[in-house]
Amino acid sequence: MTTESRRAAIAEGERVGSSHVLVPPRMITAGAGGTRISRRAGGSLEFRDHRDYEPGDDLRHLDWNVFARSDRLTVKQFHEEISPFVEILVDGSRSMALGSKAEAALAIAAMLAAAAVNAAFPYAFSLVRDRLQRVAGGSARPASWDAIAFDHAGTPATALAAEARTLRPLSMRFFISDLLWPGEPQAIAAALAQNATATVIIQVLGAEDANPDLRGGWRVVDVETNEFREVFFDAAAAAQYRDALARHRELWNESARYARAVVARCIAEEVERNPAFDELAAAEILRPAWSRS
Amino acid sequence: MVPFLTSPFALLALLAVPALVAIYLFQRRFRVREVSSLILWDAIRQPASGGRKRERLQLPLTFWLELLAIALLALAAAGPLLPRWSRSRPLVIVCDDSLSMQAGGAREKAIAFAKSELAKRKFSPVRIVIAGATPRFERDFAQWTCTSQTSDLDAAIALAASAAGRNALVLVLTDHAPDAPLEAGRIRWQAFGAPLRNLGFVAAARTGNRVLLEIAEGSSTSRRVDGSSSGAVDDSKTRRPGGLIIRRRQLSVPDGPYEATLNDDAAAFDNRVVLLPDRRPPLRVALRVQDATIESALRATSRVTLDDVHPQLVVTDHESNDEWSVEVQHGSGGAAFVGPYVIDRTNALTTGLHLDGIVWGAARGAMPGQPVVLAGDQPLVSVDGKRVRIRFDRTISNLHHAPAWPALWWNIVEWRAAQLPGLRSANVSLGANAFVNLETPNAIVTAPDQTQRTVSGPSAVIAATQPGIWRVGPYSFGCNALAPEETDLSHNRSGGWGTWNDEALTSAGFENVAWILLLIALAALIAHQRVTRGALAT
């Protein structure tokens, strides 16, 4: 069962998302059918523009009128119709249950779902645990999402690496996680972005993840693996921790760039104030509903 | 440069260091916290908790700052002293202010010696203590007048040592040898006197036209006393222990100031006396008691005239409403007290009063006023403002046959006369105070050297600092230097005693540097607070 706090977070995220709309991504590979217009030129009933003929182009698209006038071979460009599908994936590991990360992740997921509805994009909400698991009612309104548990004693990396290919092709994919697990992120980012029209990785960190408020000796225990380290946390240790976090972020940034994915970040305790709007708006993923083009 | 610790036991405070280490080791006992992942925590270098590989023990900066603060505070509490860098030493010059320093130019020789010593070596600061009856600090030798009848050198040296600090050197300038040998140290004693033969007045008193002079002489030196006299001259001679011969002369002198001089000799201060007649009018006393002993005691003072019309003092045996009165309570049926007597020596009525062997009969019971003489807890004489009460039963007493009886009445007469306008005494000793009751709000005081100042009434106290005749408004009194110990120059000496030892000269003294350590400890604590606050902020 989903706790009351999480239900409240979902409701709030849906409320915020209802005033926003997802923006279709620029680069969409050619696909079959659909009700939305893609921006890439391709076979379509709607003429867009001319370009010079290149070997391999469909000869049926040659514009003979232009050839007759100018002896120049040009082809017509047309819009292709595409229906983007939105995959909303949330990290279901135990680390997401620390602090208010779970509530923040659910709020962002609900916001994206509501924005998808505004854009008339179908969507599906899944938890990444040992497998990619569709959440009950995950394609319906966020209020009906149920049975959401962050109890996986492991990382989402394995499930993503193995099952990302099962995600809808040419879909817009949103992965919400704290990204705090060992290993190279490049493979995960690449798996997420494979065959996707847009990939957005949203890192939700808890305040304690970003800036541990500790002094003295601590035994820090990994909530997922139960491994522990004993640390004397002072100013020097805090500096080392911050450096490690910065390197981790840069690693994910680089991996996302390579996979042509977008990375957005927020702090769970501040998600109400800033649910990664800035990064999503800068990436032209999300915009207010009234400025719909 | 090894510091000297005045309180080394304070270093026991360093026992706090093991406690500090224990605290930090205890702090390293770890509390548990669940985290999302260890990938960021693995980046933190950990101090080794054990194992075969030796690693340098890692302790936080706060530990070292606290350790530094503890060490500095313990060392500061131990009172560290470091040798001073300065080569100059504080010097206090103690100057014998007694009259005998005028003899043989001792004062001038002493000043020249002091100046030569100051020129030889750098002293800083240099202070001067004038050792009179009460030592005092002065800025220069100009205030050293050698006009004190006595000189308390011990008190002056103690004042010098305590005021100037333990590093100060002391130079004593006097005219005689020290009482005890001086070892090498901080005190140097220089005497500039000489065992000169001297003749001088050592006592002089006048009652009416009768003058008593005492002249001290040390040998068969011929002496000549000049002074107007008339009538019979009594001469007597006594020898005091120590060899000083005192010649006493009693003279009858005419009215007016009497001056006597001696030939010039080694000391001039004691070659002249001036005695002024006591011009106070007799006290008008109304004797309203039938007691011949009281009357004879009053008349014996030669200061009383019986006047029942306008009395200034009433002696009665009844309760009196007069302003100034003496009530003699002759009540019978009392007890004959033989002592011990409790006498308030601070009261003027008891001056020179000795009651040994006296049988004092008096009725028992309380007496109003402040008791002055008691037998046990029974008041015998009391003073109540302007009223004196005497409880006395002559039938069971021998007081009225003893010298204490006229002495008591003399004190009563002086007690009342002291409130009347005029001088209390016509002649005082050099350095003593003259008391005068003024009839005007202010009066001009003219010293023998003609310097003047103004005093305010109704009563004034004038310090007689110069021998000769002083004038206070319409009144005059004489001041004489009369000091047998100063007139006797036979014990004067010249020479040096005690030396400033090498350690006192080469060592510049010690400076307590605890304040430096405390400042450094404070800086360490401030740094500790900043480090701690910075850790909290991050």
Q: Which residues of A touch B531 (CB under 8 A)?
A: 235
Mention every residue, 6+ apart, whose C-beta is less than 8 A from residue A141. Answer: A14, A113, A117
Mean pLDDT of B140-156: 92
Indicate if the pLDDT at residue A245 is higher than 50. Answer: yes
Write out the two tokens for A235: 């100013």
3-class secondary structure, A248: helix
User: Does the distance separating the beta carbons of A178 and B28 come in below 8 Å?
Assistant: no
Q: Quick one: pLDDT at residue A70?
A: 83
Taking 3-state DSSP, the helix, strand and coil percentages for chain B, each rounded to the nearest 5, stand at 25, 35, 40
Predicted complex ipTM exceeds 0.85 = no
Q: Quick one: pLDDT at residue B15?
A: 87
Residue pointed to by tokens 């014998």: B96
Q: Quick one: pLDDT at residue B46?
A: 62
- With cut-offs at 50, 70 and 90, classify the pLDDT of residue B165: confident
Query: Using CA atoms, how far apart are residues A99 and B351, in angstroms rounded to an integer?
Result: 97
- With cut-offs at 50, 70 and 90, classify the pLDDT of residue A79: very low
Q: Which residues of B touch A232 (CB under 8 A)?
A: 28, 46-47, 58, 60
Q: Which residues of A touch B58 (CB under 8 A)?
A: 232
- Mean pLDDT computed over every residue of chain A: 83
- With cut-offs at 50, 70 and 90, classify the pLDDT of residue A28: very low
Who among B38, B46, B62 is closest to A227 (CB)? B38
pLDDT tens digits, B455-505: 998 889 999 989 999 999 999 999 999 988 899 888 899 999 998 875 655
CA B217 to chain centroid: 31
Q: Quick one: pLDDT at residue B271?
A: 92
Find, among A131, A24, A138, the residue nearest to A81 by Cα: A24
Q: Quick one: pLDDT at residue B536?
A: 55
Burial class of residue B427, CB neighbours in 10 A (0-12, 13-18, 19+)? buried
Q: Quick one: pLDDT at residue A147?
A: 81
Find, among B157, B143, B146, the residue nearest to B188 by Cα: B157
For residue B48, give how far its alpha carbon lies from the nearest alpha carbon of chain A (Å): 10
Query: Using CA atoms, how far apart are residues B59 and B61, in angstroms rounded to an integer?
Result: 7
Who among B36, B534, B535 is closest to A178 (CB)? B36
User: Does the distance separating the beta carbons of A180 and B40 come in below 8 Å?
Assistant: yes
Q: Name the H helices within chain A.
A: 4-17, 64-70, 101-118, 157-163, 185-193, 207-210, 235-258, 277-282
Q: Quick one: pLDDT at residue B460?
A: 92
Could you tell me if A211 lies within 8 Å of chain B, comparing CB atoms? yes
Could you tell me if A91 lies within 8 Å of chain B, comparing CB atoms? no
Mutate to test the interface with A, among B29, B40, B42, B49 (most CBs of A within 10 A): B40
Who among A181, A217, A232 is closest to B37 (CB)? A181
In Å, what is the CA distance from B276 to each residue of A201, B257, B273, B280, B423?
121, 4, 10, 11, 12
Pairwise pLDDT comparison (B231 vs B90), residue with the higher score? B90
Indicate if the pLDDT at residue B87 is higher than 70. Answer: no
pLDDT tens digits, A115-149: 999 888 899 999 999 999 988 888 888 988 888 89
For residue A200, give how far its alpha carbon lies from the nearest alpha carbon of chain B (Å): 22
Long-range pairs for B63-66: beta carbons < 8 A, 24 or more residues apart: B63/B20, B63/B21, B63/B24, B65/B524, B65/B525, B65/B527, B65/B528, B65/B531, B66/B20, B66/B524, B66/B528
Percent of chain B with pLDDT over 70: 89
pTM over 0.80: no
Partner residues linked to B477 by β-bridges: B470
In Å, what is the CA distance from B353 to each residue of A49, A255, B341, B396, B483?
143, 117, 11, 20, 25
| Residue A36 · residue A130 · CB < 8 Å | no
Q: Quick one: pLDDT at residue B73?
A: 92
Mean pLDDT of B406-434: 92
The residue type at B231: G
Largest Cα span, chain B: 128
Q: Is B73 left (phi over 0), alpha (psi -120 to 50) or beta?
A: alpha
Who among A232, A236, A244 is closest to B40 (CB)? A244
Could you tell me if B536 lies within 8 Å of chain A, comparing CB atoms? yes
Pairwise pLDDT comparison (B240 vs B43), residue with the higher score? B43
- With cut-offs at 50, 70 and 90, classify the pLDDT of residue B509: low
Mention every residue, 6+ apart, whose C-beta is less than 8 A from residue A61. Answer: A43, A75, A76, A78
pLDDT tens digits, B417-428: 999 999 988 999
- With cut-offs at 50, 70 and 90, classify the pLDDT of residue B57: low
Q: Which residue of B has its CA nearest to A231?
A: B46
| Residue A15 · residue A289 · CB < 8 Å | no
- How open is the CA angle B235-B241-B244, to the nearest 5 degrees? 50
- Mean pLDDT computed over every residue of chain B: 86
pLDDT tens digits, A166-194: 898 889 999 999 999 998 899 999 999 99
Q: Which residues of A touch B30 (CB under 8 A)?
A: 217-219, 230-231
- With cut-offs at 50, 70 and 90, classify the pLDDT of residue A31: very low
User: Does the distance separating the beta carbons of B31 and A219 come in below 8 Å?
Assistant: yes
Q: Which residue of A has its CA nearest to B531?
A: A235
The residue type at B113: F
User: Does the distance separating the beta carbons of B37 and A222 come in below 8 Å?
Assistant: yes
